[in-house]
Amino acid sequence: MTFFKHFVRWLRRLGVVVLVILTFYFTLMAYHQLKPLPPGISHTSPVYQIDNVGFFRDLTHHTNGERHVDQEIFDQVERMIERADDFIVIDNFMVNGLVSDPSEDYPPLSDNLVDQLVRKRDTNPDMPIVFISDAINSGYGSYPAEWLDRLRDTDIDVVISNLTPLRDSTPLYSSFWRMGPQWLGDLGGEWWENPFVDDGPKFNLGGYLELFNIKANHRKVVITERTALIASANAHDESGFHENVAFEIDGPIIADLLRAEQAAIDLGDSSIQLPNYAPREMPATGKFNIQYTTERQTLYNVLDTIERAAQDDELWLAMYYLADREIVNALTQASQRGAQVSLILDPNKKAFGRDKSGLPNRPVVEELIEDTDGHINVRWYDVEIEQFHPKMMMLRQANQSTIISGSTNFTSRNMDNYNLEASLLISGPNDAEVMREVDDYFLMLWHNEGGDYTVEVDEYQNTLSEWQRVLYGVQAYLKLTTY
């Protein structure tokens, strides 16, 4: 009887401990889903008028087994660096040259960009140059970030974004991570396999635990006193064959980009202050309206643009990931209103050289086709080792077009204030050069003009299995995804 009493008392005490732990766990979960955002995060600029918008794209396609690569984006970045006189600020998610298969002869994007900045520092020793990036480049602290360290060695300011103050995108795991594993640092030694690069530098346990927390400074922007570039492209060698897009703008909106980057810097304990920007004399009006948004503010522009798509309007998407429920529903409704909705999507079969399961795009496409009775048009980009990596939408109406583009995939992880993201809205007349260029871009890919770019939807959709649909639903519901 005495043993039984002690056992019952022990169970009660254990129950109290478990209750306290669970209360703490769920309190953490609720708080880090709802807590106030840090200052300057989820930013919307005023609407500005300008006359000049530049469009750049990287394309890879394959004909008769031969790879054809046509790149423009980082050539333009090089020109921007060369022309800069007052300052350079770059925020880029990935800058490293680690590759799983060197025989693929990837473009040396990381070396090229770092070399350009080092040369600029050598000839302009007093110019403010700031490079902002993500901890993915060091395996979340598991090993040195070689390419970023080269910048530091030449007195270029480097900031690795501290994302802990942001809300948690994976609450089931992140709440556990915040209860202790986040403090483990490099515990476990550097012997865990690199999940991104075969035979790459080893991860430590702390790096793996932070990786599973799934947060990113996912922005890709280049800012000088002359112009700013908002892109979908990383300075990452193994991403060197990816299809990407970028837009270059000028004018007072540059100050808004700098404010958004200062907010990203201020998430950590860095004392770096970005330079003040005084725009050159600019006209009070221009043919284009432009607006810069970060994080969730992009979602509002996307939904507003889709909701304006009416009978006979054309709505185009070029997208790596499409999964956000509000956007998927809005696309369905636009098609039901009579808008011509055409999607060029990545089939999600490759990432970092690894095979993927087709999620999330293939289940989402099945849903869109079913819910619109096949009226939504879909083609897959014909990828091999690369990704169709743009994040761009265009609404073409009778006299005016609207473009939204940047780093932001159309997913909840990218749209709901979990990642740091950057996007640009451009609206203007259909006969403007940039609108014609983007329209021609979509038509070229859709109709395979001059190359084999896209394939029919059935090329991949016929491979969709029941387990993929179930897995997609479970992952999306529990937020245990990268999308």
For residues 242 and 303, state if they share a domain.
no
Average pLDDT score over the chain: 92
| pLDDT value for 12 | 80
Total domain count for the chain?
2
| pLDDT value for 351 | 74
Query: Which of these, 179, 187, 185, 131, lies nearest to 154 by C-alpha position?
Result: 131
Mean pLDDT of 57-61: 96
383: in domain: yes
37: in domain: no
For residues 224 and 294, state if they share a domain.
no
For residues 69 and 185, state if they share a domain.
yes
274: in domain: no
| pLDDT value for 402 | 98
Among 265, 297, 313, where does a domain finish?
A: 265
| pLDDT value for 281 | 67
For residues 152 and 188, state if they share a domain.
yes
| pLDDT value for 249 | 97
**Three-state SS at 462:** coil
97: in domain: yes
For residues 349 and 442, state if they share a domain.
yes
Between strands 228-231 and 244-249, the pairing is antiparallel
CA dihedral 281, 283, 288, 290 (to 10 degrees): 50
Query: Which of these, 293, 235, 295, 286, lies nearest to 98 by C-alpha position?
Result: 235
CB 369 within 8 A of CB 376: yes
Task: Encode pLDDT of 125-175 as tens digits.
Answer: 999 999 999 999 999 999 999 999 999 999 999 999 999 999 998 999 999
Domain that holds residue 245: 48-265
Mean pLDDT of 95-108: 93
> What is the band of 15 on the pLDDT scale with cuts at 50, 70, 90?
confident
For residues 192 and 74, state if they share a domain.
yes
| pLDDT value for 467 | 65
277: in domain: no
CB 113 within 8 A of CB 142: no
For residues 251 and 294, state if they share a domain.
no
111: in domain: yes
For residues 221 and 306, state if they share a domain.
no
Mean pLDDT of 262-283: 88
74: in domain: yes
For residues 252 and 300, state if they share a domain.
no
CATH number of the domain within which 343 lies? 3.30.870.10
For residues 80 and 132, state if they share a domain.
yes
Among 214, 233, 265, where does a domain finish?
A: 265
| pLDDT value for 125 | 96
| CA separation for the pair 312, 339 (Å, rounded) | 5
Q: Evaluate if pTM is beyond 0.85.
A: yes
464: in domain: yes
CB 46 within 8 A of CB 291: yes
For residues 115 and 151, state if they share a domain.
yes
Among 234, 265, 296, where does a domain finish?
A: 265
Give the strands of the sheet with 129-133, arranged side by side.
66-70, 54-63, 244-249, 228-231, 220-224, 88-92, 129-133, 157-160
For residues 326 and 366, state if they share a domain.
yes
